[in-house]
A = this chain, B = another copy of it.
Amino acid sequence: MGSQRFWFADSGPLYSGRSFEIRHGGRHRHRRLELGCRTFGRLVTSGAADDQLLLRVAYDGRLFSGFQRQRSCESVQEFVEKKLQKALGWNSHIQFASRTDAGVHALDQCIILPASKSWFLKKHSKKLSRLRLYLNSHFERKVVVWQAAWLSANFSFKKDVLWKTYRYLIYNSRVPLVMDSDLYLWIKKPLDWEAMKREANHFLGEHDFAAFAKSSGREAASKASGTTRKILSMRMKRSPHPSWSDSQFIEIDVRGKGFLHHMVRNMVGSLVDIGMGKPLDVLELLRGRIRDRAGRAAPASALTLLRTKVRDSRLKVFDPSPQSPRL
């Protein structure tokens, strides 16, 4: 842990598409750089990373092509890295808790910059408490930093993210929603609430979610992570529209340590099918492991990464807000 670890920025096209190794936190990681036509600065050393800077951010998924860097279109990762370079001279990649799909929003995405405190203080006289304001002034309101804190160097997302909660929004009404209509999946037909709740319960616990993985099947085939995941809780809530008494809003909150690609959207898609009267049996689908038998993926723009729970003891310093957010 005490050893020097260096952070590299590449010179763009040179490394494009190649894998190389970065030593970090005592573990080796392979990273595939997909920089395309973008050029980073020159090779820099950002110092020893005996600490890591945690940024908790929110963004509107409609503005980006997903979190992870893409070749052609702007991702949250690319945007944040570009702005961090400008604001902090940060010339390396960031790490992040969740690979949100294109169109998926986040209220609590965790981003880590493996930067040492001394490097940070040498480069920037700004205190951590001012950092959030400073970064937000660079982020054009497209990404909002709402907390900045130091984590110990041995913090890792794999070990120390206890759970994540995604929220899916449905609008069940015969008439369309006039505002923010793309933030809700609009279902015209009245949904069978009891059937949906009953079947949703079957997602709880540890299962093989192959039937709810992305249809391309690439993930299902990978042996490294497998398709077994654990759903810690599933909360479904409905509330009436403030003006139209035959219309209602439905929130589905799914909590788990990790999720497969498209998993929440596929689960919600099946629940909606069930609500509309399709005879789907979640337990049978889980057992069957066949993607095509389950419902379609629900649209991305109604999904939000709501909360990322990080192990408390790893947080050395909180941003000194009057009522400090509990992670």
Contact = CB atoms under 8 A, between A and B. Distances in A.
17 contacts: A58-B179, A58-B243, A59-B178, A108-B244, A141-B176, A141-B178, A144-B177, A144-B178, A145-B175, A167-B242, A180-B183, A190-B322, A243-B307, A245-B323, A245-B326, A246-B321, A246-B323
Closest 7 CB pairs of A and B: A107-B243, A58-B178, A146-B175, A246-B323, A108-B243, A144-B178, A245-B325
Stoichiometry, as copies per complex, reads: 2
Contacts of A183: 179-180
Contacts of A59: 178
Contacts of A167: 242
Contact of A136 (B175, B177, B245, B326): B175
Interface string A184-197: 00000010000000
Contact of A246 (B132, B178, B325): B325
User: SS class of chain A's interface: helix, strand, loop or mixed?
Assistant: loop
Contact of A174 (B143, B174, B244, B321): B321
A145 B105 CA distance: 29
Interface in A104-143: 105, 107-108, 132, 136, 141, 143
A208 interface: no
A175 B107 CA distance: 12
A183 B175 CA distance: 21
Given A167-B242, A245-B323, 13 more contacts: A58-B179, A58-B243, A105-B178, A107-B243, A107-B244, A136-B176, A141-B178, A180-B180, A180-B183, A190-B322, A242-B306, A243-B307, A246-B321
Interface string A300-327: 0000001100000000000001111110
Contact of A178 (B107, B181, B242): B107
A199 interface: no
Range class of the A interface residue count: 35 or more
A322 to B, nearest CB: 7
A60 interface: yes
A257 B138 CA distance: 46
A243 B136 CA distance: 18
Contacts of A326: 245
A324 B175 contact: no
Contacts of A307: 242-243
A107 B324 CA distance: 36
Nearest to A241: B107
Nearest to A60: B179
A144 B244 CA distance: 12
Given A174-B321, A190-B322, A322-B190, A146 B244 contact: yes
Contacts of A143: 178
Nearest to A324: B246
